[in-house]
Chain A
Amino acid sequence: MKNRLLWPLLALAALLVLNLVVTPSFFSLRIQDGHLYGGLVDVLKNGAPTLLIALGMTLVIATRGIDLSVGAVAAIAGAVTCVHIGASGDAGTAFAGMAIALVLCALLGLWNGFLVAGLGIQPIIATLVLMTAGRGIAMLVTEGQIITVNNDPFRQVGAGFLILPISILISLAVLGLVALTTRKTALGMLIEAVGVNPEASRLAGVRAKTIIWTVYVFAAVCAGIAGLMISSNVSAADANNAGLWIEMDAILAVVIGGTSLAGGRYSLTGTLLGALIIQTLTTTVYTIGVAPEVTLVFKAVVVIAVCLVQAPKARAALSFRKVATT
């Protein structure tokens, strides 16, 4: 267990050291208007939505599923909230808007669960439906416009601070909650059992279908909260770009964290590290000034390297060569 987390941890450390070398001020923190301000704080703030979505994704993947619709669900959440808030500036409207959005997201999660657990459609196909249709729904809600809002309580969700960014506090709270409910009760083991063999676990008395429904609803609600953070961060709902490709980032975070796409065992700490690596990578690109033309190649090289050092076969080959040359 410890060993599995060692490599992602090293990768994260390596990225941070790279930043430190190129921009010595990267680690400097100061208090600005009553909150922490610095490069690391940005990583946490901008990584919060990815972390949250990756948490939901971890449980889905643990049941041998996958949820491609999270980006679209995030866009819907932002769109619904901003349209509801409109020109209003008071807290009540903001909270009502967010509540409506999250209930809607839970319903969308139920829909995914229905397709996967109820109808037995393969998860990748079942959630693809909402991935493509969801952005259309978000566009419909916003009528294709970018909806700009000016609501301070709503702004707090993604751009606010309680010394640390509120968004990362929310994500960490959800992480803690998931860790408690799945690791301190049998729920985590049941989820893993469903992932290893849904049929066997059903025969053993596990309510496999209920568990599958639950993880998809949870993933959708996580995506909804992440969507609120994304749109709150810029005080605007952008149906086209909010959460675009974030499902891929989330899946990558889960995989880098050592959870197998084949289902079964999962690691929440691994997912946390994975999400941080991905956001640090993005921030690194901006900070050290990688030219936009080579950004994707730079990211690809880092991701491939991280995946390779985690693959037992690749590691074995590397260490074999080391032994052979010495």
Chain B
Amino acid sequence: MLKKITTAASVIALCALTACGSGSGGAGTGSSGDTITMGFAQVGAESGWRTANTKSVQDEAKAAGIDLKFSDAQQKQENQIKAIRSYIQQKVKVIAFSPVVETGWDTVLLEAKRANIPVILTDRAIDSDDTSLYKTFLGSDFVEEGRKAGDWMVANATGPTNVVELQGTTGAAPAIDRKKGFEEKIASKPDIKIVASQTGDFTRSGGKQVMEAFLKSQPKIDVVYAHNDDMGLGAIEAIKAAGKVPGKDIKIITVDAVKDGMTALSNGEINFIVECNPLLGKQLMDLAKKVVKGEEVPARVVTEEGTFTQEQAKAALPKRQY
């Protein structure tokens, strides 16, 4: 019963979404020849970061004259698989997508391969032995982001430090890799310990609820490591409600550097943010054009990113686009 409901729901959602996508494509829809049609299956709009990422893809597609069919999977892998299948049926020239989770993509990507539609992964990788399933992976190095966070932790730790971790969506590449990179770096310092780790699903409510529970179950918390800004912002609310001062009593490290996060950082409520750059639209369109022409592209393209301390955030905030 439930399956039927969700199936029906996703079909309706998908129809609605693809309708939107082709509608926004404008007059160029349907014309063959030079116009490249790209099917883009987005994860959802779970965070400000993702919204900036979506906007960058949509704007740059328009600028590059690419007809973009956009769909939003609302964080569900089955929706994304259906979107990709519908792109295959519509015979788009290239498919780009940010996988919701790492595994389970072989079947649908094989279908795309058989239909001779090249696939570009953006922002998140997949876990598959068959690397011929996609042309290239454009995105951040999440393990490196975790390492940068870990480096700051190691450099700023004084004495024994208890860290609680707010993980991203279970099974998602950024959650797995940011955890891995962070753990790798703090392994050298035995007095830095992760005392609790739970998923907050990359959302503010999730971050807040998990942090509330941590504050009651953990006797001593020195640092919160959140896999994205939004969960960190939720944790700030929970810490304030507990009568503690975020950024002072409990230090906060997050990843992403969206505007709300940067604002909290410059106000001193967050201590350190590792940037994860969402503005990959231009690079994606360039890659798509090359892939459609059949040119060789590197299998891995990394986006440029840095880190922010509180002082750097104050300087960077006025110019922040997202």
Chain A residues in contact with chain B, CB under 8 A? 23, 25-26, 32-33, 37-39, 42, 46, 68, 124, 128-129, 131-133, 135-136, 139, 144-146, 148, 159, 230, 233-236, 238-242, 244, 248, 282-283, 285-289, 292-293, 295
Could you tell me the distance between the alpha carbons of A14 and B5 in the complex, rounded to whole angstroms? 32
* A/B interface sample: 7 pairs, CB < 8 A: A128-B12, A136-B13, A233-B208, A234-B205, A238-B204, A240-B74, A293-B170
- How far is B54's CA from A244's CA once the two chains are assembled, in angstroms? 21
Q: Which residues of B contact A (CB under 8 A)?
A: 2, 5, 8-9, 12-13, 16, 44-48, 51, 54, 72, 74-75, 167, 170-171, 196-199, 201, 203-206, 208-210, 212-214, 216-217, 219, 230, 233-234, 237, 241-243, 260
CB pair B209–A145 under 8 Å, yes or no, is: no
* Contact across chains for A236 and B199 when beta carbons are under 8 A apart: no
Where chain B touches its partner, the secondary structure class is helix
The CA-CA distance from A302 to B46 in the complex, in Å, is 28
Q: Is the CB of B51 within 8 A of A283?
A: no
- Please name all residues of chain B whose beta carbon is closer than 8 Å to the beta carbon of A283 when the two chains form the complex: 209, 213
B205 near A289 with CB under 8 A, answer no
B238 to chain A, nearest CB (A): 9
Contact indicator B45/A239 (Cβ below 8 Å) = yes
CA–CA, A115 and B70, complex, Å: 31
- With a cutoff of 8 Å between Cβ atoms, the chain A residues found around residue B237 in the complex are 159, 233-235
The 6 closest A-B pairs by CB, nearest first: A286-B213, A292-B199, A234-B204, A292-B170, A39-B216, A287-B217
Chain A residues with Cβ under 8 A from B219's Cβ? 25
**B74 lies within 8 A of A135 (CB):** yes
Query: Are the C-beta atoms of B45 and A144 separated by less than 8 Å?
Result: yes
20 new A-B contacts, CB < 8 A, other than A146-B45, A287-B217, are: A23-B216, A26-B216, A32-B241, A39-B217, A42-B212, A46-B212, A128-B9, A133-B12, A139-B72, A144-B54, A146-B47, A146-B204, A233-B237, A234-B233, A235-B237, A240-B75, A241-B205, A285-B198, A286-B213, A292-B198
Check if A124 sits within 8 Å of B44, measured CB to CB. Answer: no
In contact, B213 and A133 (Cβ under 8 angstroms): no
- In the bound complex, residues from chain A placing their C-beta under 8 Å from that of B208 are 233-234
> Is A132's CB under 8 angstroms from B13's CB?
yes
A146 touches B216 (CB 8 A): no
A33 to B243, CA, bound (A): 7
Question: Does A292 contact B167, Cβ atoms closer than 8 Å?
Answer: yes
A230 touching B205 in the complex, CB below 8 Å, given contacts A240-B44, A240-B74, A292-B198: yes
CB neighbours of A230 from chain B (8 A) = 205
Given contacts A32-B242, A131-B9, A289-B196, contact A39 B213 (CB under 8 A): yes
Closest to B263 in A: A148
Do the beta carbons of B216 and A282 come within 8 Å of each other? no
Contact residues in A for B234 (Cβ distance below 8 Å): 234
Which of B72, B75, B206, B241 neighbours the largest number of chain A CB atoms within 10 Å of its CB? B241
- From A23, A129, A236, residue with most partner B Cβ within 10 Å: A236
Q: Are A128 and B8 in contact (CB under 8 A)?
A: yes
Q: Which residue of A lies closest to B237 (CB)?
A: A234
Considering the chains assembled together, what is the distance between the CA atoms of A299 and B254 in angstroms? 29
Contact A289 B204 (CB under 8 A): no
A241-B46 contact, Cβ under 8 Å, with A159-B241, A282-B209, A287-B213: yes
Within the complex, what minimum Cβ distance (angstroms) separates A99 from chain B?
A: 24
For B54, the closest partner residue in chain A by CB is A144
A124 to B8, CA, bound (A): 11
B9 contacts across to A, CB distance below 8 A: 128, 131-132
Residues of B within 8 Å of A132, CB to CB, are: 9, 12-13, 16
Query: B118 CB to closest chain A CB, in angstroms?
Result: 27
Point out the residues of chain B lying under 8 angstroms from A39, CB to CB. Answer: 213, 216-217
Cβ–Cβ < 8 Å partners of A42 in chain B: 209, 212-213, 216
Q: How far, in whole Å, are A145 and B230 apart by their CA atoms in the complex?
A: 13
* Alpha-carbon separation in the docked complex, A145 to B46 (Å): 9
Residues of chain B with a CB closer than 8 A to A293's CB:
170-171
Q: Taking the nearest CB of chain B, how far is it from the CB of A260, in angstroms?
A: 16
When distances are taken between beta carbons in the complex, the residues of chain B under 8 Å from A236 are: 204, 233
Distance, CA A148 to CA B230, complexed state (A): 11
The answer to whether A25 and B209 touch (CB under 8 A), given A145-B51, A146-B230, A238-B203, is no
- CB A79 to nearest CB in B, in angstroms, measures 12
